[in-house]
């Protein structure tokens, strides 16, 4: 089995002023003269971790990681109820990525990330294709409203008891109502006890959706530090209740803009939160992408998926 590359630490870090009172944390690892690559984390609101660094050969890559607005080490933090979420949208994040590229003096970079990160990658690449050399995406999603509805309603047919508890956490919302919007309102409630309960209910549901997967932590959402959980749920519900400020289906419709950009798409057959059909649709619409569906993998990944990721990044390192 392919082994991760050796652990590395950043050789440069900073806080980028992106306007609206926001400072975005960034770090750079690996070889200062290496191939530029940007890691785009998921969530939205998860923050960048150290594990993603080990997917890259530190001798051949200049790896950039950043915490998206409101999470991780970026400020102000979304766990603070005083943080203004009006300045945290997909458009803001795309502008932050481009500002970071210019700040670091990078002409073109490889983009790597999955789940919500893949949505942000696709939106950025379709807006700035001339700035993207290659794309590697595990766990493909375009965060269409239909995909969000599946995650917070449709997949409940497999977990009816847990979904009823999730629904009950949003009093007054019917079975066909706007459950994500209701949680966004709960996360904006002035009562900290209300926000705490909504955070716990949301994370319990997310953990349930991933509970049948054979790999990974048992409670990847619920076991996060309290501050990070609050920020994650607040940002997720904020984004998803607004359809992530993207026209429904626009990333698939405009995938032709990615022509000429080599892409590797990886998706787990057992991903209950995001079935493989979105990855399949994207691969059909993007002429230079290759899709691999891994039979024993879900949203939490696996050794087989990590091997595919490292293999793809190693192949792209010399280009």
Burial (CB count <10 Å: 0-12, 13-18, 19+), residue 78: buried
Host H or E run for residue 263? strand 263-268
pLDDT exceeds cutoff 80 at 319: no
Q: Which of 237, 267, 271, 302 is catalytic?
A: 271
Q: In what order do the strands lie in the sheet with 263-268?
A: 12-19, 22-30, 61-66, 35-39, 109-112, 132-138, 263-268, 289-294
112: pLDDT strictly greater than 80: yes
Write the DSSP string, 30-61: E-TTSEEEEE---TTTT---SGGGGGS-TTTE
Checking if the pLDDT of 1 tops 80, the result is no
Residues 6 or more apart whose CB falls under 8 angstroms from that of 294 comprise 266, 267, 268, 269, 302, 304, 305, 308
Q: Are 195 and 186 in contact (CB under 8 A)?
A: yes
Active-site entry in 5, 41, 139, 299: 299
Angle between helices 179-187 and 226-241 (to 10 degrees): 130
Assess whether pLDDT exceeds 90 at residue 217. Answer: no
pLDDT for the residue numbered 182: 98
**Greatest C-alpha distance within the chain:** 57
Q: Kindly name the residue from 74, 115, 237, 302 that is annotated as catalytic.
A: 115
Inter-residue contact 266 to 135 (CB < 8 Å) = no
Please say if 103 is a catalytic residue: no
Alpha helices in 60-214 (DSSP H): 90-103, 116-127, 145-152, 160-168, 179-187, 192-209
Active site residue 271: yes
62's enclosing H/E stretch is strand 61-66
> Can the peptide bond before residue 6 be classed as cis, meaning omega within 30 degrees of 0?
no
The per-residue pLDDT for 43 is 96
What integer pLDDT is reported at residue 219 of this predicted model?
93
Q: What's the pLDDT tens digit per position in 257-299?
A: 999 999 999 999 999 999 999 999 999 999 999 999 999 999 9
């Amino acid at each position: 089995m392919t082994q991760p590359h050796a652990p590395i630490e950043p050789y440069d870090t900073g806080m980028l002023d992106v306007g609206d009172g926001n400072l975005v944390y960034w770090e750079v690892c690996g070889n200062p003269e290496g191939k530029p690559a940007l890691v785009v984390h998921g969530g939205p609101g998860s923050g960048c971790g150290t594990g993603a660094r080990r997917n890259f050969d530190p001798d051949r890559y200049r790896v950039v990681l950043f915490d998206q607005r409101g999470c991780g080490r970026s400020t102000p933090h979304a766990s603070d109820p005083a943080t203004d979420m009006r300045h945290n949208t997909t458009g803001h994040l795309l502008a932050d990525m481009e500002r970071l590229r210019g700040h670091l003096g990078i002409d073109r970079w490889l983009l790597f990330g999955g789940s919500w990160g893949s949505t942000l990658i696709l939106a950025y690449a379709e807006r700035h294709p001339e700035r993207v050399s290659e794309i590697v995406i595990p766990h493909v999603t375009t965060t269409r409203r239909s995909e969000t509805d599946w995650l917070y309603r449709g997949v409940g047919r497999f977990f009816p008891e847990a979904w009823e508890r999730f629904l009950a956490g949003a009093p007054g919302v019917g079975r066909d109502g706007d459950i994500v919007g209701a949680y966004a309102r709960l996360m904006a409630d002035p009562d900290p006890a209300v926000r705490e309960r909504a955070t716990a209910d949301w994370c319990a549901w997310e953990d349930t959706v991933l509970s049948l997967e054979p790999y990974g932590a048992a409670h990847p959402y619920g076991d996060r530090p309290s501050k990070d959980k609050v920020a994650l749920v607040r940002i997720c519900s904020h984004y998803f209740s607004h359809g992530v400020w993207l026209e429904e289906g626009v990333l698939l419709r405009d995938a032709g803009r990615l022509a000429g950009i080599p892409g590797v798409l990886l998706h787990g057959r057992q991903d209950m939160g995001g079935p493989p059909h979105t990855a399949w649709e994207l691969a059909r619409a993007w002429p230079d992408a290759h899709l691999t569906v891994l039979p024993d993998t879900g949203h939490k990944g696996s050794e087989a998926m990590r091997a595919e990721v490292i293999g793809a990044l190693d192949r792209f390192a010399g280009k």
